[in-house]
Each structure stands twice: as C-alpha cells, then as structure tokens.
Amino acid sequence: MDHLTQLEGESIYILREARNRFDRLGMLWSLGKDSNVMIWLARKAFLGRVPFPVIHLDTGLEFDETYAFRAKYKDVWDLDLIADDCPPIEATDPTLPSGARVAARKSLGLNQAIDRYAFEGLIAGIRRDEQSTRAKERVFSPRSSTNGWDVRSQPPEFWNQFNTDFAPGTHVRIHPLLNWTEVDIWRYIERESIPVVDLYFAKNGRRFRSLGEKGITETVPSEADSIQAIIAELETTKTSERAGRTMDHESEDAFERLRVGGYL
C-alpha cells in the first residue's frame, strides 16, 4: 500500500482512539503545515467536522499572513477556535536563553488553556524526525499534574495499543503525526490539496521551512516556490528542519528543558 495511505490510516486510528477515550479533548493548531494536516485528518476521521475545540496559543507575534490564514480557515473548516493570549514574557523562567523564553510563553499559554478548559487530552502535531528529543515521545504521552514530561519513566506502547486509561486529573498529549517525516507532510499536502500559509514558499531566494513567531524564526535560503519544489529540495537537503528556530541552538539542552516543562 501507498506509504501516505498507511500513515493516514494510522493517524486517523489515533485520533479516533483519542475521541473515544477522552471527553474533554482539544487539538493544538499552530497554523503551521503539520497542524493543518492534522486538522485535515481529523475532518476525515470524524466524517467532515472536527468535533472538539481547536486551540491556537496566541503570542500576538505571528506573521500577518498567518493571522489572515487563521481567520479564513476557522470559517472554511467550521472550527471551534480558542485563541487566548499567552502570558507575557516576564512570567517565564528567567534562566532560559532568550529565544527559549519566547517559546516558553507558549508552554504557559498551554498550561493556562488546560486549567481554563479542563482538557484531559490535547492533540499536538509533533513529529519524531523534527527534533531528537521528540523522537523519544509516545503517541499517547501522559503528563504530570504540572504538565511536565517524565522522560525517564514513559510507559511501554506497542501493537497499536495505547495507554488511554489514566487517573483523574492526569492529562495526556496525543501525537497522531509522530511517525510522519517532513517530506511525508509535504507529499500529503500535495496529494490532498491542503492549504498552507504562503510564507513556506520561496520569495527572493528565501523561505520559511518551519513557521514560528516573528523574532525567533528565520528564513532559510531556498528557491523552492511550489510544493513540488519543496519536496525536491527535501530529498537532497542536509540541513535540519528547525535550523531557522533560534531556541534550538542557544544551548544543548534548551529544547529538552522546554519539553520537560511542558513545551510541545
């Protein structure tokens, strides 16, 4: 079978498991390519419409194009959108490097959403190939009451059986795209004609390969101005997807520290 169909089948299975197991479920929508794919898969899984809230952790620092995209597709896809402001930078851990502190606002925004809406399950579009600590994640990943990630004692997960039973008060991150790679995402976007923000396509020799906030996300040199060109570029590139993400490179374990603290 076609690899994309296989991945699609697996992700839809995961989404339906999440829906069956958790009453209070939400999906994180970063407005990036991966989370658009995830919303697309959820619409397929639930026969047309995403049946739970979609959460954008809004730092107020997204690009204008990104906000315009959100406004448009909230309506087109009939999404039940939650877009509360994240707490200010002053509220973040001051010992983190500066780029990581901007990202840490989203961790706080996430905790705020969990408290405010009492989510038991949160679906997030992280992938194993993006970043090496994400590679060690589980599809159903339990979090402590403070939303932390205990990397030392993750439960086993195999044979399509996920840990879906938890004590009351625990919350679970669900990762339906864990086994996808960057190029899988683009091939699927191509196959299904899924809309993405224009900033991914090269203008004047540069494009965003990974889309984050203003100030902590940089463009990379590229001539890829179409989906096909991006796929061709990814077949040969040796730079990492998150090369344009400031916080990944500030210190060796900045990303792990962010994740242990609840970052995606």
Partner 1 sequence: MIKFLKPYPIVVVGHVDHGKSTLIGRLLHDAGKLGDGKADEIHAASKRRNREDEFAFALDSLRLERDQGITVDTSRVWFKTDKRPYVIIDAPGHFEFVRNMVTGAHAAEGAVLVVDIGEGISEQTRRHAYLLTILGIRQVVVAVNKMDMVNYDETTFNAMADGIKEFLSSIGITPISVIPISAKAGLGVAYHGDETRWFAGPSILEGLDLFPEPESIKDAPFRMSVQDVYKEGDNRIAVGRIDAGSLRVGDAVVLQPSGRVLTLAKFQPWSDDDTPQISAAAGQSVALNFEQAAFVQRGDLLVAQESRAQTASSVQAKVFWLHADPLNLGDVVSLRIGAAKHEVVVTAIDSVVDLQSLESHDGNSIPCNGVATVTLVSRSTLVFDTDHNSPMARAVLSRDLTVAGGALIVGRAQSAGEDTSHNLTPVPSAVARRERAAWFGHKGGVFWFTGLSGSGKSTIASLLERRLFDLGVHTIVLDGDSVRNGLNQDLGFSEEDRTENLRRVAHVAHLMSENGSVVITSFIAPAESDRSAARSIIGENFHEVYVKASVETCEQRDPKGLYHKARLGEISDFTGVSADYDPPKSPEIILDTEGLSVEAAVDHALSHILEAVDHVSAKQQEAALQVAARA
Q: Which residues bind partner 1 (CB under 8 A)?
A: 1-6, 8-10, 12-13, 16-17, 19-20, 43-48, 128-129, 132-133, 135-136, 138, 151-152, 154-163, 165-167, 181, 187, 235, 238-240, 243, 252-253, 256
- Cβ(40)–Cβ(67) under 8 Å? no
The β-bridge partners of 206 are 203, 221
* Spatial contact of 248 and 97, defined as CB atoms under 8 Å apart: no
Q: How far is the CB of 136 from partner 1 (least distance, A)?
A: 4
Smaller CB separation from partner 1, 56 or 187: 187
State the nearest-atom distance from the C-beta of 12 to partner 1, in Å.
4
CB neighbour class for 126 (10 Å; exposed up to 12, middle 13-18, buried from 19): buried
Report d(CA 214, CA 97) in Å as an integer: 17
C-beta closer to partner 1: residue 84 or 256: 256
Instruction: Decide whether 24 or 134 has the Cβ nearer to partner 1.
Output: 134
* CB of residue 38 to partner 1, shortest distance in Å: 14
Q: In whole angstroms, how close is the CB of 149 to partner 1 at the nearest point?
A: 11
- Residue 112 or 179: the one with the smaller Cβ distance to partner 1 is 179
Helices (H), 53-165: 64-76, 98-117
Provide, rounded to whole angstroms, the least separation between the CB of residue 47 and partner 1. Answer: 5
15 vs 196 by CB, closer to partner 1: 15
CA distance linking residue 1 with residue 10, whole number of Å:
13
CB of 140 to partner 1, least distance (A): 10
**Dihedrals phi, psi of 66, to nearest 5 degrees:** -70, -45
User: Between 60 and 148, whose beta carbon lies closer to partner 1?
Assistant: 148
The pairing of beta strand 206-207 with beta strand 220-221 = antiparallel
Residue 191 C-alpha from the chain's centroid = 20
